[in-house]
Amino acid sequence: MGFNKLFTEIGGAPVIAHTIRAFEQAGSVSDIIIVACEDRHAEIKKLTRDHNLTKVRTIIPGGERRQDSVRAGLTHLSADAKYVAVHDAARPLITPEQIERVFEQCRIHDAAALAEPINDTLKRADANLIVTGSVDRHQLYAMQTPQIFECALIEDAYRSVYAENVSVTDEVSAVERLGRKVALVLNGDFNFKITYPRDLPVAEFVLKHRKHSPRIEKLA
């Protein structure tokens, strides 16, 4: 991006504030742990006060990789926590309704994640970007967050990841390594990750549209 996207304003608030607010409003969420660069902690504390985000219990330093940050967050769970959700702060379009849908499936399966069916044609290419073949998109899904787990399961998964010194790109991958099943919750609403500058005006448009129109999820 060339700048810190999480503190860029869209819809009258920083990206990260929209993300936290969705979990603040989710009935299943009791505590929020923010894992962030240490030099941003003071700014985040002010943001939580300004936006009255009362479920934020602690802000802790992150690690070099995503998995290191998640592992750090797991060590700060309350002793009586039964479930934990992991979410990308750069997905500010998440809604409390989406969170609750994933949580309900987690309660049934011990592990669940938001996902979107792949609709585009997929191709493999070589180092010179010459097409080398096609990828069957049948039963392919783009993983999103939140990814929600029974606490003991995700803690076991991460113990295994570090014991075997492997890298994982998300929590579903860690749980898969244990041979456990993860339920996918298909998402029919916007929940893209802010990655490029072009994503910011799109997210702004979605937020404005939601204020004036009811959200209707449609899954093809």
What residue segments make up the domains of the chain, in order of their start? 5-212
Asked whether the whole model's pTM tops 0.75, one would answer yes
Predicted pLDDT of residue 220: 39
Predicted pLDDT of residue 1: 63
Q: d(Cα 196, Cα 32) in Å, to the nearest integer? A: 27
Spell out the CATH class of 5-212.
Answer: alpha beta
- pLDDT average, residue stretch 82-104: 97
Is a pLDDT exceeding 60 seen at residue 163? Answer: yes
pLDDT (tens digit, 9 = 90+) per residue, 2-40?
Answer: 678 999 999 999 999 999 999 999 999 999 999 999 999
Per-residue pLDDT band at 71 (split at 50, 70, 90) = very high
